Amino acid sequence: MGAEHGADMGAEQELRAVLVREIAESGALADPAWRAAFAEVPRHLFVPYFFVGGFPGHERLWGEDPDPERRERWLKRVYADEALATRMRDGELISSSSQPSLMARMLHRLDVRDGNAVLEIGTGSGYNAALLAHRLGDSRVTTVDLDPEITESARRHLRAAGYAPAVVTGDGARGCPGRGPFDAIIATCELPSVPQAWLAQCRPGARILAPLSTGLILLRVRDAEHAEGRFLRTPAYFVPLRGGSAQEITPQAEGLPGRAGEDDLFRFLLTLTAGSLQPPDALSLWERAGRPQRERYGITLSSGREWAWLDEPDGPCAWPLGPQKDVANPGGS
């Protein structure tokens, strides 16, 4: 923290302990190894500054502020259970530090074991990579980000905290084949679809956990051509993946009857079907199915095809996922 300003390390440690206790009480740190990681990795080293308030018109808080009250505000926000906007460009948010309790839930569901190799897509501040390195060891963790400024900053943060995973500058949608094979891939940025390239970099049985639409898809990889899984119940909102192979589709909810366009679960389906179903068709599907929760949806990748589905992969409700248009009769593998 701001050692130059005589930072109160006792306050930092107390706030960190309170945060870990709150996350544990929510049920997100059942694994002692992950609880130890959150207790021992100092988040403040990864977010030396962040932005609060509206965009534009935001305020910058930082740990080296000469004003002790503003430094105190910075530290309390660092160890609050909230996402922090860490990097802006031309008024647009391009990187953030995710909500710690959501990070804990994602890491728990990733289900890693000692000796596993993990690829993280979206380096951000480097905090999540540090948690993974604490759990698995530096040599077992690779993190990729498109922006060289982000990766260089993350390297500095990791070094300051005593961690040295592989930090790679590159297009996360292409993975990192030179560092594979991986036992798990975790993305900390929103995807329009799951990149097929990731499967070939995974060992059979590997897990892929990624934000997609406004949910979290958990896939089990069978081989280089096949993976399948369901969404978790947890909602999730992340900065979108950037890169030449990332194609974002924005759903349009205008003109829908009633307040459907404002419903979180319908917005999830609307994004999931963007490019495949027109909003009125998505609304009809949602209402016929009883306004389903996220965990009733899933995704299948098979031999270069990718589709989303409701309830069953080979059921009647299935549609091409993302920007691709070449999925014919997307009901089976």
pLDDT score recorded for residue 2: 45
Collect all residues with Cβ–Cβ distance below 8 Å to 219 and sequence separation of at least 6.
194, 207, 208, 209, 210, 227, 228, 229, 299, 301
- Quickly state the pLDDT bin for 296 (edges 50, 70, 90): very high
* Domains, in order of start, for the chain: 3-189 (3.40.50.150), 260-320 (no CATH)
Predicted confidence (pLDDT) per residue in 232-289, tens digit: 999 998 888 865 454 545 555 555 666 666 789 999 999 999 888 888 999 999 999 9
Segment 27-37 shows an average pLDDT of: 95
pLDDT at 258: 62
Q: What is the pLDDT of residue 106?
A: 97
Q: What is the DSSP string of 184-238?
A: EEEE-SBBSS--THHHHTEEEEEEEEEEETTEEEEEEEEETTEEEEEE-SS----
> Catalytic residue among 26, 95, 302, 333, which?
95
Reduced to 3 states (helix: H, G, I; strand: E, B; else coil), residue 287 is helix
Comparison of pLDDT for 254 and 157, the residue scoring more:
157
* Chain segment 173-230, per-residue pLDDT in tens: 999 999 999 999 999 999 989 999 999 999 999 999 999 999 999 999 999 999 999 9
pLDDT exceeds 90 at position 38: yes
What pTM was estimated for this model as a whole? 0.90
Where residue 25 falls among pLDDT bands split at 50, 70, 90? very high
Model confidence at 3, in pLDDT bands (50, 70, 90)? very low
pLDDT at residue 197, as a whole number: 95
Mean pLDDT of 43-72: 88
Residue 333 among the catalytic residues: no
> Quick check: helix, strand or coil at residue 110?
helix
Q: Are 282 and 308 in contact (CB under 8 A)?
A: no
Using DSSP, state whether 14 is helix, strand or coil. Answer: helix
pLDDT bracket for residue 91 (50, 70, 90): confident
